[in-house]
Chain A
């Protein structure tokens, strides 16, 4: 305890030097914490946006190859998929049956290209819990011709509730088709979704795609706990294979092949196949980017720490020379070599912890301020934003690891001068006049 008090007092004795050295440590911790927070926030925002957009955490897509070799995305009969799901005992929050297409929505000469998702309004409550209607009601939205648009899309088209809109699209087999929708709901922009998606009845969307009644394109399974996603997807895949269903191999980097486009596994097979994928398969490329970002953060931290370490070594060598007589005195008063070593190291550790705490505090303030800024939805970064705002997410072990690393390197930096100081003989030290 005495040592601790002495170390703290020594730090305050040279407040300017301590402030500069601590400030350097704080700056290093600040930069790395912000990079880590940003990287964590990116992946969190992207997961959130994608699970919302793709409607689920685990997905099953049906792919049927026609005699001409064309691949049609369709689930014609989901009874076995659902019975196997029940048998595996996977606990899910929602089952989301979806058909979707990207087409041109036309109103009075204006047109926008957007994705329309077919939603079974009566069977699922997932979307109703997340979308907030600005205009219209859920009752009118249930009509077969009803379309729900974001306020931004409605504004671009100049359409108001009750307007008749035309949609130009390609059917599941690629033929041209035109449909009509009535604007029945306008929802508040929920971030990413507003620019890429609109909602209509599943039956109508499937019909426009020329799918038979009851057929749809993909089944989304929304889990209560995203962390179990991969394990449960593997379990479901095994169960489907045991049930005799033919599956396409899992594809990683699905984003790299185009969002809903053809993948390598579309090539060499015939008939009907299913593909199980998870949100991670879509995000794996993003995860790689995030990992690179974290690595860059670590490299920056190491460079900064190396500079700081050299600074600490030099500073403590100077401190040792400044305090030679003092060291001689306390050694003469009975302090052992180990005590002197501990005093120096404790001083370095305290400096590092105070610096880290300051760095973390400032990082918290900076991240808080940055997350208040609305970057809008037009930015290319929109995928990583939640409602236009940056989100920072720090993992406690990562923060602890950074502080631990800073502490370790600071101790290493102080070790050499501390050992030298501890080896000073009291008589020699007292004889040295300064």
Chain B
């Protein structure tokens, strides 16, 4: 009499353990944690290759400095020569673009495309998925050789670029492998792929990103991160004066 009872209890516990859904909001927080550098500064060299139908590839190179704990970042364009000297300075929600031709700063938005690529300015900043989105649906799936969670996200505020997202997140380490960005009307606008990651300390940063414009067939941008570093960046880097002087 006792053995069936114990078996039943064990079965119920096992079923409860194995069928329990993970906390998807916590997974979003994991993605945010892994992509944010709160204890150190971060810098890297960005190489962006944009392709448009009937046009030759456009290659750009930029140096990025990030100080996530203070919500500051600087991106300086290095190549092509004609765009050298252009720069972006982000402090909290304020993003300025510096034009060396006019020697003036202009306000711009994180939601705008970066230069003439398919990446948004927000793609280069620390992610804040858990704060801005709610998981409204989920499913188990397989992406390549990785078992993944497919999470459907809906924006909780109007501060984000895309109101709806669909994420493919690895089950084992919660790395984001793919994201679909949807407009307010529910139409797919862009698909982002994150095929490889670099581990820096306990952080992971996508070392390759591919952004595919779903509205303009054949238009895509591949971004590669190199020369990554967690070394401290001097305070003066995150100033307008530095952006103005750099590359002069």
Mark A residues whose CB is within 8 Å of B: 66, 68, 70, 106, 109, 111, 166, 168, 170-171, 173-179, 208, 210, 262
Q: Which of A166, A175, A176: most chain B CB closer than 10 A?
A: A176
User: Bound complex: CA of A176 vs CA of B160, how far in Å?
Assistant: 9
Contact yes or no, B215 A176, CB < 8 A: no
Docked Cα-Cα span, A68 to B132, in Å, equals: 13
Contacts known (A109-B217, A111-B216, A166-B215); A175 close to B163, Cβ less than 8 A: yes
Produce 1/0 per residue, B184-227, CB < 8 A to A: 11010100000000000000000000000001111000000000
A176, B216: Cβ atoms under 8 Å? no
Structural contact, A170 and B159, CB atoms closer than 8 A: no
Interchain Cβ contacts within 8 Å, total number: 55
Which residues of B pack against A, CB within 8 Å?
Answer: 53, 107, 109, 111, 155, 157-163, 181, 183-185, 187, 189, 215-218
| Chain B residue contacts of A210, Cβ below 8 A | 184
Q: How far is the CB of A298 from chain B (nearest CB, A)?
A: 32
5 interchain pairs (CB within 8 A)? A168-B183, A171-B158, A174-B161, A178-B189, A262-B107
Report B-chain residues with C-beta under 8 Å of the C-beta of A68: 157-159
Complex: how many Å from CA A221 to CA B96? Answer: 36
Chain A residues positioned under 8 Å from B215 (CB to CB): 106, 166, 168, 178
Rounded to whole angstroms, the CA-CA distance of A179 and B109 in the bound complex is: 22
| CB of A161, distance to nearest CB on chain B (Å) | 22
Contact A171-B184, Cβ < 8 Å, known A68-B159, A176-B189: yes
Instruction: Report B-chain residues with C-beta under 8 Å of the C-beta of A208.
Output: 185
- Give Cα A111–Cα B107 distance, bound, in whole angstroms: 25
Smallest CB separation, B163 vs chain A (Å): 5
Nearest-neighbour CB distance to chain A for B64, whole angstroms, equals 23
Q: Does A175 lie within 8 Å of B160, measured CB to CB? A: yes
Q: For the complex, give the distance between the alpha carbons of A168 and B14 in Å.
A: 50
The CA-CA distance from A371 to B184 in the complex, in Å, is 48
Contacts of A111 in B (CB 8 A): 216
- Give min CB distance, A352 to chain B, whole Å: 48
What is the CA–CA distance of A171 and B155 in the complex, to the nearest angstrom?
A: 14
Question: Of A70, A109, A174, A178, which contacts B183 at CB under 8 A?
Answer: A178
Chain B residues, CB < 8 A from A171: 158, 184
In the complex, the answer to whether A174 meets B111 with C-beta atoms within 8 Å is yes
Minimum C-beta distance from B63 to chain A (A):
28
Please give, as numbers and ranges, the residues of chain B lying within 8 Å of A262 by CB-CB distance: 107
Task: Provide the residues of chain A in CB contact with B163, threshold 8 Å.
Answer: 175-176
Most chain A CB within 10 A, of B155, B158, B187, is at B158
Kindly list chain B residues whose C-beta atoms are within 8 Å of the C-beta of A109.
53, 216-218
| B115 → chain A closest CB, angstroms | 16
Question: Could you tell me if A106 and B162 are in contact, using CB atoms closer than 8 angstroms?
Answer: no
Contacts of B218 in A (CB 8 A): 109
Give the 8 A-B CB pairs with smallest separation, nearest first.
Answer: A173-B158, A177-B184, A178-B183, A178-B187, A177-B183, A176-B183, A175-B163, A176-B162
For B160, give the chain A residue with the smallest CB separation: A175
Q: How far is the CB of B217 from chain A (nearest CB, A)?
A: 6
Contact among B53, B184, B216 for A175, CB-based, below 8 A: B184
Give the residue name and chain of the B residue nearest to A72 (CB).
B158
Interface residue from A106, A168, A170, A178 paired with B111 (Cβ < 8 Å): A170
Cβ of A176: which chain B residues have Cβ within 8 Å of it? 111, 161-163, 181, 183-184, 189
Contacts of B111 in A (CB 8 A): 170, 174-176
**Complex CA distance for A109 and B216, rounded to whole angstroms:** 5
Asked if residues A178 and B160 are in contact (CB atoms below 8 Å), the reply is no
Report the minimal beta-carbon distance from A63 to chain B, rounded to whole angstroms. 16
Closest to A171 in B: B184
Bound complex: CA A24 to CA B59 (Å): 61
Residues of B within 8 A of A66 (CB): 158
Q: A67 CB to closest chain B CB, in angstroms?
A: 10
Cβ 8 A contact of B109, one of A106, A174, A178: A174
| A177 in contact with B185 (CB, 8 Å) | yes
Q: How far is the CB of A207 from chain B (nearest CB, A)?
A: 9
A377 → B minimal CB distance (Å): 25
- Given the interface pairs A176-B161, A178-B189, the reply to whether A106 lies near B184 with Cβ below 8 Å is no
Smallest CB-CB separation from B106: which chain A residue? Answer: A258
B217 touches A178 (CB 8 A): no
> Would B160 and A168 count as touching, CB distance under 8 A?
no
Chain B nearest CB, measured from A174 CB (Å): 5
Given contacts A170-B111, A175-B184, 7 further A-B contacts (CB under 8 A): A171-B184, A175-B155, A175-B160, A175-B161, A176-B161, A176-B183, A177-B183
Name which of A66, A70, A174, A262 has the most chain B CB atoms within 10 A of its CB.
Answer: A174
Closest approach, in angstroms, between the C-beta of A99 and any C-beta of chain B? Answer: 15
CB of B160, distance to nearest CB on chain A (Å): 7
Which residue in chain A gives the minimum CB-CB distance to B187? A178
A352→B157 CA distance, assembly (Å): 74
Residues of B near A179 (CB, < 8 A) are 185
Expressed in whole angstroms, the Cα–Cα distance for A95 and B193 within the complex equals 49
Residues of A within 8 A of B184 (CB): 171, 175-177, 210
Q: What residues of chain A lie closer than 8 Å to B185, measured between beta carbons?
A: 177-179, 208
Residues of chain B within 8 A of A173, CB atoms compared = 158
